[in-house]
């Protein structure tokens, strides 16, 4: 057989309706379940059958999925446009193990930073003076800790709370500062580059606010930095003794498990944070060693490729049945869309197939009362990932039973539907694919496992689509133009070189500001 290509997928026969697939294959519900760490991934209600799966596995092989996975773990520069290794797996390796980047084992450095973070977090947790930690960062330096802080509600220190400021819009910092007491607030300025305008602007505002209240000398006790750029941290006025470092081989959206997770570590403690990292590592090892046919990230990635390139589905909904995971869809939006939202391949050629899907979602059951209508009866097919837990992180059993009943009901209703020829508006066609990911309980380890699962899904899909999942050049043009337009708004520079519509927007703003 010739190598399968992505272009072949659209001409493959479509699998039967899920009703047929279950009716003709009594073993489907058991066979199409994959275990990875503590996760039970049930993809039996995916629109797929054995022949299609065989083709997809062949595609994974011919696309070099194993070789590229191994190259990542070997520290090769698989981020080609930035000529960097992709080393986030090193951040969660146990002490004493090895991950080489450019000929050097980086694991000892990782643990040195983790130890320093741990000592600092312990000090904050035991010293009564700090009760509010404000993380100032954006993108990868915000979404991970903000999502995980919320997800780990049940594991947090009871005296210390964290807030997250990211947006350049002053309402973000204003609302957080309004709720802060200078004497008991610690600011964590989290920026890999320490050159991001949003973060530096917010950090300067916070610094001025603190100095106005407590004087310049207070900065040393109330500001720490997380960055790869010591020089800029010092320039900003934070002593590099109060800085926690990481490395250019950690991508922003892959950095919640680096020092970028400092606020999370303060909240859940160094022990909880190590459990979180341990969860990632369990899935890393699964991904690294499991055969493709039993490899959860590979299988989930293949389903996504099949949906995108075989069946033409443009979006995917991630629907956590845990309100604590409310920010998880937003986190995955960045992880997936910034990684695989690309249209040139590794050789710089325009791709001829669709790449990353549009990721979206909200927690159940809220979404059920909002957009699920379209998922059940709309004209578009939206593959869904449901995420749920055997136990809730609270004592309200009745609530949890109701929640999980809803998850299972949605999965069943979408897949099998219910025919009603007499009343078409009550007809549920079914055959709407979904995957159900379950675990015992949302713990730090399980959260790490979920994140690592999706990280590797993105990696495998990027490999098959032939794109660089680890760069993000698409965010540059907007930044450059914003830098040009800023002085034009304030009158320091004349509007220059724009199209007529943008000129009109600028002039409207200058009149009305």
Q: Is 139 in the site for ligand G6Q (CB under 6 A)?
A: yes
Q: Is 469 in the site for ligand G6Q (CB under 6 A)?
A: no
Q: Is 340 in the site for ligand G6Q (CB under 6 A)?
A: no
> Which of 44, 141, 202, 469 is the binder for ligand G6Q (CB under 6 A)?
141
> Which of 15, 37, 144, 251 is the binder for ligand G6Q (CB under 6 A)?
251
Residue nearest to ligand G6Q (CB): 139
For ligand G6Q, give the closer residue by CB, 424 or 478: 478
> Which of 184, 193, 393, 427 is the binder for ligand G6Q (CB under 6 A)?
193
Catalytic residue among 198, 275, 338, 362: 338
Mask for 281-320, x = binds ligand G6Q (CB under 6 A): ----------------------------------------
For ligand G6Q, give the closer residue by CB, 82 or 285: 82
- The count of residues interacting with ligand G6Q (CB under 6 A) is 14
Catalytic residue among 30, 128, 369, 492: 369
The DSSP result for 104-171, as a single string, is EE-HHHHHHHHHHHHHHHHHHHHSTT--EEEEE--GGGTHHHHHHHHHTGGGS-SS-EEEEE--SSHH
Q: Report the candidate in 460, 464, 461, 438 with the shortest Cα–Cα distance to residue 450.
A: 438
Strand segments (E) across 222-314:
223-227, 243-245
Of 17-25, 189-197, 212-220, 310-318, which segment contacts ligand G6Q by CB under 6 A? 189-197
Alpha-carbon span 2 to 19, nearest angstrom: 32
Site for ligand G6Q in 64-93 (CB under 6 A): none
Alpha-carbon span 66 to 71, nearest angstrom: 8
Determine whether 425 is an active site residue: no
Q: Is 140 in the site for ligand G6Q (CB under 6 A)?
A: yes
Mask for 146-185, x = binds ligand G6Q (CB under 6 A): ----------------------------------------
Alpha-carbon span 80 to 296, nearest angstrom: 26
Q: Is 333 in the site for ligand G6Q (CB under 6 A)?
A: no
Residue 418 β-bridge partners: 428
Alpha-carbon span 98 to 193, nearest angstrom: 26
Q: Is 192 in the site for ligand G6Q (CB under 6 A)?
A: yes
> Which of 257, 275, 324, 338 is the binder for ligand G6Q (CB under 6 A)?
338
| Torsion angle, alpha carbons of 340, 345, 348, 352, to 10 | -110
- On whether the CB atoms of residues 162 and 135 are closer than 8 A, the answer is yes
Determine whether 479 is an active site residue: yes
Q: For the chain, give the number of residues.
A: 513
Determine whether 423 is an active site residue: no
Alpha-carbon span 428 to 420, nearest angstrom: 7
Helices marked H in 193-237: 197-214, 219-222, 230-236
Catalytic residue among 349, 391, 394, 479: 479
Q: How far is the CB of 481 from ligand G6Q (least distance, A)?
A: 16
Alpha-carbon span 223 to 207, nearest angstrom: 8
Q: Is 196 in the site for ligand G6Q (CB under 6 A)?
A: yes
Q: Kindly state the DSSP code that residue 10 receives in the 8-state scheme.
A: T
3-state secondary structure of 494: coil
Strands 384-389 and 358-360, how do they pair?
A: unpaired
- Number of other residues whose CB lies within 10 A of the CB of residue 85: 25
For ligand G6Q, give the closer residue by CB, 252 or 448: 252
Q: How far is the CB of 143 from ligand G6Q (least distance, A)?
A: 8
Q: Is 252 in the site for ligand G6Q (CB under 6 A)?
A: yes
The residue ranges that bind ligand G6Q (CB under 6 A) are 138-141, 191-193, 196, 199, 251-253, 338, 472
Q: Tell me which residues are annotated as active site.
A: 338, 369, 479
């Amino acid at each position: 057989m010739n190598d399968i290509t992505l272009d072949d997928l659209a001409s493959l026969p479509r699998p039967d309706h899920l009703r047929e697939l279950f009716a003709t294959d009594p073993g489907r519900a058991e066979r199409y379940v994959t275990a990875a760490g503590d996760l039970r991934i049930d993809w039996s209600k995916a629109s797929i059958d054995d022949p299609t799966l065989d083709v997809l596995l062949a595609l994974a092989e011919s696309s070099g999925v194993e070789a590229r996975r191994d190259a990542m773990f070997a520290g090769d520069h698989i981020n080609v446009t930035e000529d960097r290794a992709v080393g986030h797996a090193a951040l969660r390796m146990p002490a004493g193990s090895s991950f080489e980047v450019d000929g050097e084992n980086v694991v000892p450095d990782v643990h040195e930073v983790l130890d320093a973070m741990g000592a600092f977090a312990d000090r904050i947790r035991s010293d009564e003076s700090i009760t509010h930690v404000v993380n100032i960062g954006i993108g990868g330096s915000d979404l991970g800790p903000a999502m995980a802080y919320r997800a780990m509600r049940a594991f947090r220190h009871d005296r210390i709370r964290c807030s997250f400021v990211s947006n350049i819009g002053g309402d973000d910092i204003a609302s957080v500062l309004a709720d802060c007491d200078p004497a008991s607030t610690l600011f964590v300025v989290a920026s890999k580059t320490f050159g991001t305008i949003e973060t530096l602007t917010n950090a300067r505002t916070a610094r001025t606010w603190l100095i106005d209240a407590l004087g310049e000398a207070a900065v040393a006790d109330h500001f720490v930095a997380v960055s790869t750029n010591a020089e800029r941290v010092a320039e900003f006025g934070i002593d590099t003794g109060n800085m926690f470092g990481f490395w250019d081989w950690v991508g922003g959206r892959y950095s919640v498990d680096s020092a970028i997770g400092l606020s999370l570590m303060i909240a859940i403690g160094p022990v909880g944070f190590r459990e979180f990292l341990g969860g990632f590592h369990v899935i890393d090892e699964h991904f690294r060693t499991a055969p493709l046919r039993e490899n959860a990230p590979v299988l989930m990635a293949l389903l996504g490729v099949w949906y995108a390139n075989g069946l033409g589905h443009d979006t995917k909904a991630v629907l956590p049945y845990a309100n604590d995971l409310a920010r998880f869809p937003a986190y995955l939006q960045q992880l997936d869309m910034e990684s695989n939202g690309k249209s040139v391949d590794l050789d710089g050629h325009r791709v001829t197939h669709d790449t990353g899907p549009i990721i979206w979602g909200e927690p159940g059951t809220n979404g059920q009362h909002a957009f699920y209508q379209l998922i059940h009866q709309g004209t578009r097919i939206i593959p869904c990932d449901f995420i749920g837990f055997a136990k809730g992180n609270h004592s309200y059993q009745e609530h949890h039973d109701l929640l999980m009943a809803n998850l299972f009901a949605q999965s069943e209703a979408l897949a099998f539907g219910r025919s009603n020829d007499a009343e078409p508006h009550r007809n549920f066609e079914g055959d709407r694919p979904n995957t159900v990911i379950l675990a015992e309980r949302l713990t730090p380890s399980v959260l790490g496992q979920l994140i690592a699962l999706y990280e590797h899904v993105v990696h495998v899909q990027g490999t098959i689509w032939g794109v660089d999942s680890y760069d993000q050049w698409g965010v540059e043009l907007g930044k450059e133009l914003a830098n040009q337009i800023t002085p034009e708004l304030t009158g320091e520079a004349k509007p220059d070189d724009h199209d007529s519509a943008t000129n009109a927007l600028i002039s409207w703003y200058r009149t009305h500001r």
